[in-house]
Amino acid sequence: MKNKKLIIFLGSLLFLILFILKGVPLLVNLYLNSHADKIVSDLITRTNDFSGHKVKFGKIHLNYDYRGTYLELDSVAIFPDEIADNNRVKIDLLAERILLSGFLWKSLLLDNAIVLDSAELRKVTIHSMSPSLDSLNLKSKEEIKRKKGKDYTSIQVNHIDLDDFSIENRDIGNDSSRLEIAGLNVTANHFTLTSEDLEDPKALFDVEMIEGKIRHASIHFNEYRNEIITKNLTFSKEKRSLSIDSVRLDNKWDKYKYINDFRLETDWVELERGNLELVNMNYDAYFREGIIEAEKLLAKDIKIAVFRDKRKPDNTQKRPKMIHKIIGGIPKDLHVDMIKMENGYVSYEERPDNEAPVAGQIYFDQIDAEIINITNIPKMLDMHSELNLKANARIMGKGNVDLNVTYFLQDSTGGFTMNGHVKDLDLTAINPMLRPATQVEVRSGVIDDLSFDIKGNDVEGTGDLIMKYHNLAIDIRGKSYGKGQNVFQKIGSFLTNKLVIRSENPNKKGELKTGDIYFKRDQSKFIFNYWWKMILSGMRSTLTGEDEAKMREKAEKKD
């Protein structure tokens, strides 16, 4: 009798164990798969970003066991409800395949958290439409506060594999594209995104390992006139690297159409080509604190074109910042030990405010430069308070230029020092810029060596300049393009060459004339205009004999 009871007990226990191990998952799976559409749809649309959206599935399969739930989705579509508010972000998502494994229901039910062992997503395309970004930014904290109990407290995934992601955001008002990403592939381990991360404007997420590639990305801005385009962006936290094979700043309008869209004088700028690489990048600092920190930024084969139309009214109210304020005003915390440019090219084209039928142009090529110590982080400034720029290039493919600049980042007056050389410059090479702007051109002349030493700040700069040159002669051309000089222009050229300017320095007796540098900064002009005007003042002083006292006197009268 006792044996019979024992057998019944053991049999019942075995049945109970089998029921728990097999029956419970079977019943749970029957329930999950019979209600799969609603369960998965609720998991998606309960979040703040996807509320007001609908979900459809081509195929859905759930498989539960005690280690977690396996979810397979094919042909997933998420789209906004027809009555969705136009002031909300609208998202259309299409996914060819989504595989999620190790989903823990306990974490969802008890902690309102998503915990997964792995997530694999294939060929996901997201199109979103949103109101003006400015209008979104103007909302108060109360208005943008995320609804408690809707968004998850955290999303944790041990392994993520994204293949062929595409994302596009458009302006809901004019249907213009703001952001495009195509061909995003990412592999990541131990990914965590918390509700605190969503609230923190600096934090993104935690991840132990992440690497991937973006085939194409672009951002549209300046009322959609400009677009930054990148191709083949590769990143790796393990290698601490980020590289972009091709980066461009495209101005969608031609020079004159763009310029004429503004009432006041402005620059038309294009970055025609270039590639970038960040070396030894601190990914944790970026993901957790929003700090861009790297040992080196390499910029290779950069080509920049700038155009300005001086016939437009000058914007005397603008106040371009000096270098120390530009760096201090960067919205992201930044620290880069070195920025290095190799084989750069910069051209500047200017339509002068006169009757010249063409624009003047000057260019610099074979630019190699190093900028040491770029930082706007207060605790770093005590140790890295000086920014140093060293650069060398060619002017108009001929003369060689060397430049050294030191900026004192903690100097409230914008203090800096600058010195450099220009060597072996055939001055006829600058006629394409000189002729339209001044109606004068160089007939002959070579700068053998021009050296300068400057000390300045936000207000004014002073220094010394030595310009050694020979065989200098100019021609006064006036408004006559494509024609020879008239008799008055010939007389003016003769008198200028004989009485005003020196044809060589040092002269035949070996006497060397040095020049004084003085220029009071035009607060409405950018830093490069300031640099050029200081050097030009020293060149003019060398040619005419004007000293610093005389230049100061003129500046005071002008004020």
Q: 133-142, 345-354, 384-393, 458-467: lowest mean pLDDT where?
A: 133-142
Which one, of 421, 327, 415, lies nearest residue 371 by Cα?
A: 327
DSSP element (H, E) containing 369 = strand 360-375
Band of pLDDT at residue 18, cut at 50, 70 and 90 = very low
pLDDT of residue 141: 37
Cα→Cα distances 136→24, 88, 171, Å? 48, 9, 12
Q: What is the rounded (10 degree) CA torsion for 503, 521, 320, 286?
A: 90
Residue 106 phi, psi dihedral angles, 5° rounding: -60, -45
CB contact at 8 A, 272 and 239: no
Which three-class secondary structure state does DSSP give residue 396?
coil
CA angle 501, 430, 403 (to 5 degrees): 95
Q: What is the mean pLDDT of the chain?
A: 81
Give the separation between CA 544 and CA 472, rounded to whole angstroms. Answer: 13
Count CB neighbours of 257 within 10 A: 12
Encode pLDDT of 360-382 as tens digits.
Answer: 899 999 999 999 988 888 777 77
Give the separation between CA 360 and CA 306, rounded to whole angstroms. Answer: 12
| DSSP, res 238 | T
Which residue has tokens 């290039």? 393
Flag whether pLDDT at 52 surpasses 80.
no
Flag whether pLDDT at 250 surpasses 80.
yes
DSSP string, 282-314: -HHHHHHH--EEEEEEEEEEEEEEEEEETTSPP
Flag whether pLDDT at 171 surpasses 80.
yes
DSSP element (H, E) containing 518 = strand 514-520
Supply 58's token pair.
């081509």
Give the separation between CA 325 and CA 252, rounded to whole angstroms. Answer: 30
Looking at residues 257-286, what average pLDDT do you find? 93
How big is the chain by its Cα radius of gyration, in Å? 33
Which three-class secondary structure state does DSSP give residue 268?
strand
Give the separation between CA 165 and CA 95, rounded to whole angstroms. Answer: 9
Supply 326's token pair.
């530009």
Q: Length of the chain in residues, anyone?
A: 559
Q: 60-64, 312-316, 344-348: lowest mean pLDDT where?
A: 60-64
Looking at residues 403-409, what average pLDDT do you find? 91
pLDDT of residue 463: 95
Flag whether pLDDT at 507 surpasses 80.
yes
Give the separation between CA 514 and CA 504, rounded to whole angstroms. Answer: 12
**Sign of the C-alpha dihedral computed for residues 32, 33, 34 and 39 taken in this order:** positive
Flag whether pLDDT at 338 surpasses 90.
yes
Count CB neighbours of 98 within 10 A: 19
Looking at residues 83-110, what average pLDDT do you find? 76
pLDDT of residue 144: 37
Q: Which residue has the higher pLDDT, 216 or 198?
A: 216
Encode pLDDT of 458-475 as tens digits.
Answer: 899 999 999 998 888 877
For β-strands 113-130 and 154-171, DSSP reports them as: parallel
Flag whether pLDDT at 13 surpasses 60.
no
Looking at residues 484-508, what average pLDDT do you find? 62
Give the separation between CA 224 and CA 250, rounded to whole angstroms. Answer: 11
pLDDT of residue 74: 76
pLDDT of residue 136: 42
Flag whether pLDDT at 342 surpasses 60.
yes
Give the separation between CA 258 and CA 18, rounded to whole angstroms. Answer: 76
CB contact at 8 A, 279 and 296: yes
Looking at residues 285-290, what average pLDDT do you find? 91
Give the separation between CA 128 and CA 89, rounded to whole angstroms. Answer: 7
Alpha helices of 444-559 — where are they, by DSSP H?
A: 487-495, 527-544, 548-558
CB contact at 8 A, 69 and 107: no
Give the separation between CA 391 and CA 142, rounded to whole angstroms. Answer: 50
For β-strands 334-351 and 360-375, DSSP reports them as: antiparallel
Flag whether pLDDT at 534 surpasses 60.
yes
| Proportion of the chain above pLDDT 90, given as a percent | 37
DSSP element (H, E) containing 435 = helix 431-438
Q: Which residue has the higher pLDDT, 249 or 498?
A: 249
CB contact at 8 A, 449 and 423: yes
Which residue has tokens 């995104």? 193
Give how far the C-alpha of residue 522 lies from the chain's centroid of Cα atoms, to the nearest Å.
27
Flag whether pLDDT at 228 surpasses 90.
yes
